[in-house]
Amino acid sequence: MRTHGTTRQHTVVDSPYGSLTLVATGGALSGLYMTDQRHRPPEESFGERVPPEEEPFAETVRQLVEYFAGERTDFELPLHLNGTPFQREVWDGLLRIPYGETRTYGELAADLGRPQASRAVGLANGKNPIGIVVPCHRVVGANGSLTGYGGGLDRKRRLLDLETGGAEAVEALF
């Protein structure tokens, strides 16, 4: 499938958090979707399916395996984040939240220079197309509670536990 002159491809891999659908646009990662994820685009928009060991996915899979094993704290991948300017601003803010730390929606809004925009930040956070790599799971409610995660609160808790040492790192099933 070609979208605005750019080739889209996808692959599906197993992980400790269930199947992950990886989508690339023009060779850059543009989607990482979990099974039953809220705001998941229709499958037919993902483009041609290719094996996970082929580019552009081999490097993404390698880094995800390292992350799930507790050996990687940052991803170094080309990203294609398609959203409004405000959404991209929020997603860039997510990339600045360090591994093993959390921020509230209000703190993230303040970090972006928009202290009154915590609800808008929450909505943009929920539309993040590249879960895990763009760490929307690191954002919590004002009182530190787990709130809204497109992949489900159980997965959010497990990802946070992985990053804070509250759970054993696991080998990915790739």
Task: Give the Å distances, CA to CA, from 140 to 128, 144, 146.
Answer: 15, 5, 5
Between CA 146 and CA 16 the distance in angstroms is 20
| Helices 118-126/85-95 angle, 10° precision | 80
Token readout for 10 is 């996808």
Beta bridge partners of 34: 20
Q: Which of 136, 140, 160, 162 is catalytic?
A: 136
Does residue 89 carry a catalytic annotation?
no
Query: Around Cβ 50, how many Cβ atoms within 10 Å?
Result: 15
Whether residue 56 has a cis bond before it, omega within 30° of 0: yes
On whether the CB atoms of residues 133 and 92 are closer than 8 A, the answer is no
Please identify every residue annotated as catalytic: 136
